[in-house]
Structure 1
Amino acid sequence: MLTNHRIAIYARVSTEEQAEFGYSIDAQLDTLRAYCNLHQKVIVGEYVDRGVSGKSIEGRYELQKLLRDAKQGLFDEVLVWKINRISRRTIDLLKIVEELSQKRITFRSFSENFETETAMGKFALQMLGAVGELERNTIVDNVRMGMKQRARSGQWNGGKVLGYRSSQAVRGQRHRKDSTLEIVPEEAAIVRKIFELYASGKGLKAIANQINREGHTTKRGNTFSTDSIKQIILNPVYVGKIRYLQHENWNERRRKGKNATPMLEDGGHEPIISEELWGKVQILQKSKAVTTSRTFDGKYTLTGLLRCPQCGAAMVASRTVNKLKDGSRIVRRYYSCGNFKSKGSSVCSANSVKAEYAESFVYQRLKEVINSERILADVISAMNQHRKGNTIPLQEELKAIRQKVESIEGKRQKYFGLFEDELVDRETLANRLEELKAEKERLLARKSEIEWELGNDNSQTVDFDYVRAILAQLDQLLFKASTGQIKSLLHLVIKQISIKNRKIEAIELNFDEDMQKHFLAAPSDDESEGAFSVLRPRPLLYKFSLVI
């Protein structure tokens, strides 16, 4: 039996799991603490993700902290209640366990009663991981099957849509709930207006501009864009239809998951527009959607990096074509506010910046900083001062959260006392305890996020020689790569470019592990966009932003 074996406990629960299956955080922790005490294992850290899905590690700050601490060798074993607490996807589970194994850290599951030190343990992990993913996929398939059947019968499968509100009706002996759509008159008027404006010949941007000027907003309270207008005029729900399976696996496949033949059934709800108006709009939209050949194919390498000085939106490609007296044409390239381009002048102004100026300025400024030690020293000094100052608000917030968590425990004891003195009834006590528990969970989740940020080298002073070496690698790439590669490189390394009076005010560079992995990697012969090669890459030790 190992003594003084350093254990890291990991626990996770999503809100749905705790409500349906009782996988409470407290129950997991109590079980694992008792196990460690029984086997004389020392718990050196508890990592708890509250109300977070196990589908991916995104947003799971405690798991990310655990993996970061594992690299530093702070424990010898990771203990979980069940393997699906780490991940519900087999590939992610195996990657995490392999990462731990490389640091000679054992992964152990209490419920399945195995560890990864032996060949059989590793085999059991793979099998149980596959079974867990099969269970999850089976549930997903059953839900999809049910939703498909609901769509076939003309029922709404949920979601927010302008012009309607979703209501539920209970029917049958099994108290089955059916979702139906009810018209919201004031929203339906906006939808009708959009269809009528499009049918009258107005374009998407003109409609968005007019609707925004009149003070209307989307279902979520945002201003209308050309895309939101387009989604409305293409949505058959407004003509009394139910559309389902328009996208498949949208979270993973995004636009590649668009279904060319979605289900389309007659719905049980009242239509907002007539078949005649719908048909007219669809014919117009198809005729306008015909792609025309581009007369100019400019290389906008800074698209999305410049920020509008008025509204903060990303600047997008723009151009004007002027006809000269001799009949020739001259094309002028600009970067203009994305909100203006998609939502119109009621939301923002163009705030255009000449593309040639912006691109030339950025390249030249990067070169100046890379090649001038004095400029680079001044920039790094200012950055280090800023990094130190940035941690103070987070530390203060963390202190306030700890105080609030302590006060919640005091409030719990107070309500128990009131209940014992018969000053509150059992129902009031239960409700108040539930409210305090929810508040504590929210505070602890935020505490995990802050601790992750504070521990992510945000306050660490960045060394001059280190930054100079990183920028030297950047220099090799910038002035040797193709145009397509330069664009990918700039989007990897530049966080944003600030504009003032149509001139560039500041360029913020961003250096993190993803940037290191993607372009300061091993030499590559791949010429595709985003593939770079550099000899003997220097390992990235810091995550930092550099304003030049």
Structure 2
Amino acid sequence: MKAAIYARYSSDNQREESIDAQIRAIKDFASHNNIQIVKIYTDEARSATTDDRPQFLQMIKDSEFNIFNTVIVHKLDRFSRNRYDSAFYKKKLKDNHVKLISVLEHLDDSPESIILESVLEGMAEYYSINLSREVMKGMKETALQCKHTGGTPPLGYDVNPDKTYCINEKEANAIRLIFQMYASGTGYTPIIDKLNDLGYKSKTGKSFGKNSLYGILTNEKYRGVYIFNKSSKKINGKRNSHKIKSEDEIIKIEGGMPEIISEDLWKRVKIKMDSNKINKGANTAKAIYLLSGLIYCGKCGSAMTGNRRYAGRNKSLYETYECSNRKRTKQCDMKAINKDYVEQVVIDDLYNNIFSDSAIENIVPDIFAFISEQNKIINEDIKIYKKELADIQTKIDNMLDAIANGFYNSSMKEKSDQLETRKTTLLIRINEAEREAKLNSPTEDMIKKYLKKDSDIKQKSLENKKKVIQTHVQKITVYEDRITTDTIVSLIGGGDGCRTRVRK
């Protein structure tokens, strides 16, 4: 078995050495299981809540080339703290015939293990959200004092030692030029050309672009208003200045910033920007396909993809899933299936078999029994580690006694170093195993709460419905006369793992 290591540390109370500790533990695990390590990927000071991780994405890409057939992480939250991203990237690995293994979580391919993995990911996601909430609390206190909360200050400003803002006059001249030219009717391209001719750069030293101009022209800080927590984040964690949070989430303090442009200039720019907005028609709206990447044709096995078209005398809108093989090569005659119908089948199955009160009562005991078995394995590992540690300590003591009695030769130093290295590794493994046995043992009540938080799946927004489906559904197969949905817990208690609905 050939494996790649993925290790990561973020800035939340972790240091660079934690990557070394992860790699050391993974290599030890690999050597005890006859696994060959062929590549190591590491991301430093990167959060698992975002896929803005260069080495992680490189690993996903490399999984296509049969370099390795296994990815080993120290713990599942090193892979992702977001259930949706975790499910998405694990599916990519699975499609490339690559298995994900966690050193600390003893998981296998059984349905109980799969749902436990989902529970652990959910708990890690909760931890990440809770941590973000605590960090945000501290940042809000700083913001109420109109102080810098971190990151790069806006162009035109510097940060004083006490974290208050001051004007950077050279950069502020670029800001004034941008507002004055735009207010006078000049478009983005001539403004960018003028800035480049004058040698102005963005805060990061790059040339200006249309997006950076939009961000400047809509930034109220330049008119003296302190703003915090205004823009939302994209799925990959980056700021999206075009998507604004609700007013009750934003901290806005008039006069909280040194003013670079006048109120009159700001109003003139705003009026012009509002008049230039293009109202998008309803025909440009994009449908959200809840089953993307999960739905397959029962005739030829190809993936089914979303299709949106207007047809008939009244140009009615039809949204369907179609066999990609039929669409591409015409070699399959499977008919398209109505999007709303098949999505409702899957949502009903998830509710009835996972999230309803009766389903939860049936599932939880099996999951908890599996957890108990896994804890036995962890405790057995601890016993083995402690026995080996005791044996090594005896050898070290005997060697020290021999040296004290004058029996010393040059090979003893090398042997002593080997024993001490193994001792350090075992101490780390014991500490981590004991911690995992204590922390990663969800009670039946915790598992119930985890499942019940998605019991309102039928009322969730389309985006949240998609996240739940992508997390809990492995595969949907559409035949001419039926639809089968295969969920991560449908095998618990026996059966073929499918819930079947007669196709309309």
TM-score normalised by the chain length of structure 1: 0.45
TM-score normalised by the chain length of structure 2: 0.48
Higher relative contact order (CA 8 A, sep 6+): 2
